[in-house]
Amino acid sequence: MPDITLLIPLAQALGISVTELLEGRRMPSNEPMNATQVETLVKKAITMTEEDSQVLKQRRKTYCRLLIGCLILTVAEFWILIKSGYGQLVSVSNIAVMELLSIIFGIYFCVGIKEKLPAYYDENSISAYSDGIFRINLAGVHFNNRNWPHIVQAGRIWSLITMVVMPPYYVWIDTLPLPNHGVVLAWVLPFLGTLLIPMFYLGRKYE
């Protein structure tokens, strides 16, 4: 079922009323509605809201399970890193800092982030989103309830993948004969690029 918050903009885009959208047919402007028809329309709207809420809850539970699984894999990776002797060759503390960022973002995207934006995001061109200490600002992308679910999903997938993939990648980078600034770029650019580029693409695509 469609998101109930999109009923009004969808009806406006189609050039029909919300009532006609819920009824699935054109209605003459002078056609009266009895109490039964009004009650039916209200029930349809409430049902759509309840179904949408259940879908969002189930999706959040799924990502929470994936987050726990990735955290377990991350702990296992660090245990292997230390026990195998690679901890003597690479900067475990630096890897831990980057990994901690992935975990913080993962907890936020999978557990804390809001699934829907306030209505004023659909009514205005806003490129920034703030939620406590977390802030997302994508120049050229206007956040709304059409592209927000895709942006949130991109953040979730990114955080889960980086938690598992980045530690081996950082170990590999640390073993290469790169200058200090080269190591920093090789760490930071993939970390941020793999987050921001998909978000920008999806934000523009579904805007």
Residue at 16 is within a domain: no
Residue at 36 is within a domain: no
Residue at 31 is within a domain: no
> Is pLDDT above 50 for 1?
no
pLDDT tens string 141-185: 999 988 999 999 999 999 999 999 888 888 787 777 777 777 778
Q: What's the total number of domains in the chain? A: 1
Spacing of C-alpha 196 from chain mean position: 12
State residue 138's pLDDT score.
87
Confidence class of residue 44 from pLDDT cuts 50, 70 and 90?
low
| Cα 204 to Cα 144: distance, rounded to the nearest angstrom | 11
> Is pLDDT above 70 for 108?
yes
Residue at 71 is within a domain: yes
Helix/strand number for the chain, H first, E second? 7, 2
Q: What is the value of pTM for the model shown?
A: 0.70
Residue at 21 is within a domain: no
Residue at 186 is within a domain: yes
Residue at 168 is within a domain: yes
Q: Determine the structural domain holding residue 78 and report its residue range.
A: 51-205
State residue 88's pLDDT score.
57
Residue at 40 is within a domain: no
